[in-house]
Amino acid sequence: MKQLAWCAVAGYVLAVGCANDPLYVPSPNNLEAGQQDDQGNTILQAQGSMYLPITRETTQERQAQQTATQKLGVEVPYVQCDDIAVELDWTIKNLDGSNAGTALIKVDGANEFWWYEPSILNLSPGDPDDEVAAPDLQGNIPINVPAGGTINGLFTEDEMLEASVDLDLITRGNQNPFAATLALDNRALPSFQPMTPLMFDDMGNQLPQSPMGKAIPRAAIPYMIRVDLTFVPTTHMVLDWDLRVRDLKGDMIDDLGLSAPASQLQQFNNIMLFMLAGGSGGSGAGSG
């Protein structure tokens, strides 16, 4: 079901999508870590994922997408980077009443083409003793949580848009993940040029890259359709989180959220797990 909301405009009531009215999408479960398991081992981290409640693509929309792909010469996504806006709200509770601690919230995810999992990407493959893990798309900044305390925060719409653009730069653009995530204001990119696959020599140095294919215009840059979180606390803590989604296009988000029947929501079944060329490398198929 395409989103239907009632908005008052100049004294009239119209059935349209209200871009300024965010849809609250609670996470399916909280993330708890830092406690001991049944064997006495400390649970170091917890992970969770949530798909956005994207409405099923109509035949007309699919035809328009195919036409745009042919015209631009690059694959155009169903969910483009300016179609929606997402804010991620979080609350951390330190369940240890005696000890303060720190926590990391790492934000990654997938668009309808690629799934980005930085923990499997070694950016220094020439030196097995000096493995350099790829950066997360957002977060991974220590958050101080007092003993028994609660901390609230959010990843803003701008930050989530930046993560979405960086995801496309890293995957389809073959940009070094550090270069992509450290650049400022990628969220405003009008286009970018894909390069040949990211590769390293035997010493772990990045090899030169060359332009490959056509430039990808903004109309072909996708927004993330799945958000992946990794929660890493130093004491026993729990993370509650939710998404607030604004439908800027007006027909991308189902008004029933994730409680909508599956037949009303778009199913993304062809997401590929992104890997680097040659072992940390190539592009391996994965399930989204």
The pLDDT of residue 128 is 62
Q: How many residues does the chain have?
A: 288
Other Cβ atoms closer than 10 A to 47: 13
What is the per-residue pLDDT for 72? Answer: 95
Q: What are 194-250's pLDDT values in tens digits?
A: 999 999 888 778 899 999 999 999 999 999 999 999 999 999 999 999 999 999 999
Q: How far apart are CA 190 and CA 280, in angstroms?
A: 30
Determine the Cα–Cα distance for residues 118 and 74; give it in Å rounded to an integer.
25
Rounded Cα distance between 136 and 170, Å, is: 11
Q: What is the pLDDT of residues 61-76, one digit of tens each?
A: 999 999 999 999 999 9
- Measured CA to CA in angstroms, residue 258 lies from 22, 53, 92, 109, 212 at distances of 14, 5, 23, 17, 38
* Residues in the chain where the model's pLDDT stays below 70: 1-19, 125-129, 278-288
CA distance 211 to 68: 22
* CA nearest neighbour of 47 among 111, 109, 113: 109
Distances in Å between the Cα of 247 and the Cα atoms of 18, 25, 203, 242 are: 7, 13, 47, 16
User: Do residues 148 and 177 touch, judged by C-beta distance below 8 A?
Assistant: no
Return left, alpha or beta for 40; rule: phi > 0 is left, psi -120 to 50 is alpha, else beta.
left
The secondary structure of residue 196, as a DSSP letter, is S
Rounded-to-integer distance, Cα 26 and Cα 3, Å: 18
Helical residues (DSSP H) of the chain, grouped into ranges: 59-72, 157-171, 177-182
pLDDT score at 250? 93
